[in-house]
Structure 1
Amino acid sequence: MNTHLPFISLVLIGLVLYSCQPKTQESKVESHLGEIHFKVTGAAEAQPYFEKGLLLLHSFEYEDARAEFLKAQELDPDFAMAFWGEAMTHNQPIWQRQQYDEGKAALEKLAATPEGRQAKAGAELERDLLKAVEVLFGEGDKFGRDKAYASNMEGLYEKYPGNHEVAAFYALSLLGSVAVGRDEAVFEKGAAIAEGILKENPNHPGALHYLIHSYDDPGHASLAKTAADRYAGVAPDAAHALHMPSHIFVAMGMWDEVVASNEASYAASVKRMERMGLDNDARSYHALHWLLYGYLQQGRVADARRILDDMVQYTETLPSKSARSYLVRMKGNYLVETDEYAGSYADIEVNLDGLNISQQAIWQFLEGMKAYQQKDKKQLAGIIDAMGQARQQAGMAVTNAGTPMCGAGGSYGNPNQLDIDQAYILE
């Protein structure tokens, strides 16, 4: 494997890189998605769907979680927390993404105003959680809303000591309040909260998941090794839970474990796709990307090529933004690790229309490496100039707070500051 560009390869993999009288902490829910103890106001027949949705939400299986919350709403149209849950599926804090309009629409189905929505809550805790989600889908830019939401959840964490769900969502809100990079104090606080939950419930999927994210870097990864070893076994029905331990394994150079995790995660996503009759975008391209990278670190170049060939086919069948984005990344990792800029894989073409600046920067970087190896100085200079212009233009779409003006962000959406920073590194 090529050892000359390890930092660039990490940048590429990083671009890849939730009864009428309610009682909390009493209803034990055990499944292949983890274990929680949470009871809220709603019809008895709707409770299992809400609880399953909550478990899926903790493992970032947002679409499936939403489906469960919608089932709960069908069974009990006044189940306020089911609408809260649906709105929460439209906020992906770790990925710095949010479907703002959809989240507001979910809340407005319950009632037209915040006051009307809170009036339908059956307990003070439920009203407080509804008030908190109103902040996420309220006024201001996304970064400001994330910070305000974390502050709100801190108040609830202090108001409801011992409530695991409040604690878990507070820990997640802390991680989501950091728009770019790692804030040591904030991430350590999130980790401590997650660890506190796990002392009382070692099978809580959110606590395991958020602890891994809190320590998701080479300097801290060993602190989440136990959680990484445990999470996939606690929530094997969540494809993302099968993938997530590999964040720690990559940081620790445990390539056999990286491969095993992502083989299992990708297989689970394919099984779900086939069971539900979904299209190729239901494949976990994220896990497939990490699997390709793991194979390359193991020296299994032929297996990496097979994945890249498959990804080309999937993209041709359904050229979605997601597929095209991941094809760019996979091509990038393959070329950086193998140095095959003169080979056939360097000639893979991808339509970049609508892709985020970070994906465009990867593409231009690869074209620049080809020009460099061909000693084409004019071509190389033109590529560098084009990269700079594209980055500056994308930067104009980012507010001074470092978040996209229309709120979403993400690898194939509107740019956030992290995207701009990554593009600058590649430039």
Structure 2
Amino acid sequence: MKKSVFSLIFIALLLLYGCNQKTNRPSAEQINELNLKRGQLILCGSPSMQLGTAEFKTSCSQKTKGDFDLAIKLLHSFEYDEAEKAFAKVIDQDPQCVMGYWGIAMANFHPLWTPPTEEELQKGARAIQVARSLETSEREADYLEAIGSFYQDWQKVDHQTRCLRFEKGMENVYKKYPDDKEAAVFYALALDAAATPDDQSFSKQKKAGDILQALYPGQPNHPGIVHYLIHTYDYPELAQQGLSAARKYASIAPSSAHALHMPSHIFTRLGLWNECIESNLASVSAAQCYAQAAGIKGHWDEELHGLDYLVYAYLQKGDNASAKKQWDYLKTITEVQPVNFKVAYAFAAIPSRYVLENKRWAEAASLQVTPVDFPWENFPWQAAIIHFTRSLGSAHIGNLAAARTELTQLDTLRQRLTEKKDTYKANQVAIQITIAEAWLSLKEGNNRKALMLMQQAADREDKMQKHPVTPGEVLPARELLGDMLLQLGKPTEALAAYETDLQKHPKRLNALYGAGLAAKAVGAAQKANAYFSQWTNGTGHAP
């Protein structure tokens, strides 16, 4: 009798306090509130689903293993929408699978891209909340807390601080589970995500590279290892180390449009224009296929991202006909999903590159960008590219009033970015302002001021890295410094400027031509012939 009483008391206590303990199964309402993407997976890069090889051990139901590993491979190739679909299927099969919710949070984080939207942050935070109510292993709880630290207080804490939290969380997982190769891969990704553009030592990237290089021999077909090696080495000083991965990635994951595009980051850094073109032609085609198969109204953002790199490569080969063909095609695009920073950048940069690289100053001064109803007010950095192009064009044709009007617009955009505490982009626009002021000063006959401003812009730009979304600055400041020095009859200084620029931007067509002219002017015939030869091999044309 006494035993029965104690049993009843124990049961009562469980009922009383159980609601405060971890539950065994989330409610249907909790799962529905996540608004998970569901449906058939859509991949277009190759006839069959080829995404490489990756395996992630979990405590989830064995029946979810195939879908979970597929979701991981999609995640590693930044196919975030499709990854979320795959993780949603895992949750449908096993609602108690903590790592399924972890996957949802990771798919809405997308490190190395633009920060998540408010909707994505809310979804990721809710997924973490549901997962924390479930029983799981210590290892999986550690993974969950790593990504959970990124979503914690997202309304109050800035993106960079939260990326640093994720880095620290994944470092803990990496050190605690040294045999967990996926922990090493995701820690390398976290290091790259937490790196800042002003770190010229590349300390985090080099650490990530060491980790990934150690993993690569044992997992040569792992999409994350090869993909993150490309991102890790996407810098002029490191790019050569990423060439092997760049030439491998597309063959590992040909079903991913992003995997088809991503090698071109390294090809662009090294001036391998033919490979860059091939890479982006394949990626654009896959992106077009994806948009049609997914029922996207209009075009997919990944297509425009590929077009930007494609046009840049054509211009560096002097293939204006192909570049113009892509720009004309861009003009027919009026609707893109999703509307984001990549789309805005392509709409602004592609036409600006074409007129500026070809020194079509009158066209640059009057450049009109389509679509006209695009929400440019949401993208001040990208909108600044258009005003920069107009200002530089106006200055060159002597319309100084128009150039100053565009300068005023640039300064307004810089102030908006400063107010938003987007320091990197504000600094990028500040460099554009200095460049435009330099060429205005030159037109006004103040050569000394012009050179001083142009030197300042070049020095400042040298201390910054390009944004990952772009193949390069619309016009490199140091190349423009070379142009100005050459115009002012200072070929020795111009040659030094061009050669410094070519170290950071190998095989840029205009820099090669300028270097050839400068070398010829100083009597360095052999050097001049070498630069002109490179320029000719790129099928260059005198700008």
Place the TM-score, normalised by the shorter chain, in its bin: 0.7 to 0.9
- 1:118 paired residue number: 132
Contact between 2:109 and 2:120, CA under 8 Å: does it hold in 1? no
The alpha carbon displacement at 1:118 in A equals: 3.4
For residues 416 and 183 of structure 2, the distance between their equivalents in structure 1, rounded to whole angstroms, comes to 40
- 1:410 paired residue number: none
The AA in structure 2 aligned to 1:134 is G
Deviations 1:61-83 (A, max 9, x none): 11111111112112222221111
**Is the alpha carbon distance of 1:342 and 1:223 closer, same or farther for their aligned partners in structure 2, counting shifts above 3 Å?**
same
- 1:354 paired residue number: 377
Q: Which one of the candidate residues 192, 196, 212 is aligned to 2:210? A: 192
**Is the alpha carbon distance of 1:213 and 1:310 closer, same or farther for their aligned partners in structure 2, counting shifts above 3 Å?**
same
Deviations 1:71-116 (A, max 9, x none): 211222222111110111111221241235434434525745xxxx
- 1:11 paired residue number: none
- 1:210 paired residue number: 228
Match status 1:392 vs 2:411: no
Contact between 1:78 and 1:110, CA under 8 Å: does it hold in 2? no
Q: Secondary structure at the match of 1:83?
A: helix
For residues 5-404 of structure 1, what are the structure 2 equivalents within 5 Å? 32-109=50-127, 111=129, 117-139=131-153, 140-182=157-199, 183-282=201-300, 283-315=302-334, 320=339, 323-343=343-363, 346-349=367-370, 350=372, 351=374, 353-398=376-421
Deviations 1:370-422 (A, max 9, x none): 21133111221222133123202321111xxxxxxxxxxxxxxxxx3222122
For residues 280 and 164 of structure 1, the distance between their equivalents in structure 2, rounded to whole angstroms, comes to 40
Unaligned stretches of 5+ in structure 1? 1-29, 399-415
Q: Which moved more, 1:232-241 or 1:343-352?
A: 343-352
Contact between 1:281 and 1:323, CA under 8 Å: does it hold in 2? no
How high is the TM-score relative to the length of structure 1?
0.83
Contact between 1:315 and 1:327, CA under 8 Å: does it hold in 2? no
Determine which structure has more spread, i.e. the larger CA radius of gyration. 2
The AA in structure 2 aligned to 1:173 is A
Query: Could you say which structure has the greater relative contact order, defined with CA pairs below 8 angstroms and 6 or more residues apart?
Result: 1
Q: Secondary structure at the match of 2:274?
A: helix
Q: Which one of the candidate residues 417, 422, 426 is aligned to 2:428? A: 422
Contact between 2:355 and 2:363, CA under 8 Å: does it hold in 1? no
For residues 320 and 148 of structure 1, the distance between their equivalents in structure 2, rounded to whole angstroms, comes to 28
**Is the alpha carbon distance of 1:318 and 1:189 closer, same or farther for their aligned partners in structure 2, counting shifts above 3 Å?**
closer
The AA in structure 2 aligned to 1:424 is A
- Taking only the aligned residue pairs, the percentage that are identical comes to 30
Q: Provide the alpha-carbon RMSD of the alignment.
A: 2.3
Deviations 1:152-171 (A, max 9, x none): 21111111113121111111
Contact between 1:180 and 1:417, CA under 8 Å: does it hold in 2? no
The alpha carbon displacement at 1:148 in A equals: 1.6
Deviations 1:237-259 (A, max 9, x none): 11111111111111111100000
Count of matched residue pairs: 377
The AA in structure 2 aligned to 1:388 is D
The alpha carbon displacement at 1:133 in A equals: 1.2
Contact between 1:70 and 1:86, CA under 8 Å: does it hold in 2? yes
The AA in structure 1 aligned to 2:329 is D
**Is the alpha carbon distance of 1:379 and 1:240 closer, same or farther for their aligned partners in structure 2, counting shifts above 3 Å?**
same
Deviations 1:204-263 (A, max 9, x none): 111111111111112211111111111111111111111111111111111000000001
Contact between 1:295 and 1:303, CA under 8 Å: does it hold in 2? yes
For residues 157 and 146 of structure 1, the distance between their equivalents in structure 2, rounded to whole angstroms, comes to 16
The AA in structure 1 aligned to 2:168 is S
The AA in structure 2 aligned to 1:132 is A
For residues 181 and 170 of structure 1, the distance between their equivalents in structure 2, rounded to whole angstroms, comes to 21
**Is the alpha carbon distance of 1:181 and 1:315 closer, same or farther for their aligned partners in structure 2, counting shifts above 3 Å?**
farther
The alpha carbon displacement at 1:346 in A equals: 3.1
For residues 60 and 136 of structure 2, the distance between their equivalents in structure 1, rounded to whole angstroms, comes to 8
For residues 102 and 195 of structure 1, the distance between their equivalents in structure 2, rounded to whole angstroms, comes to 32
The alpha carbon displacement at 1:123 in A equals: 1.6
- 1:12 paired residue number: none
Q: Which moved more, 1:275-284 or 1:348-357?
A: 348-357
Contact between 1:100 and 1:137, CA under 8 Å: does it hold in 2? no
The AA in structure 1 aligned to 2:77 is S
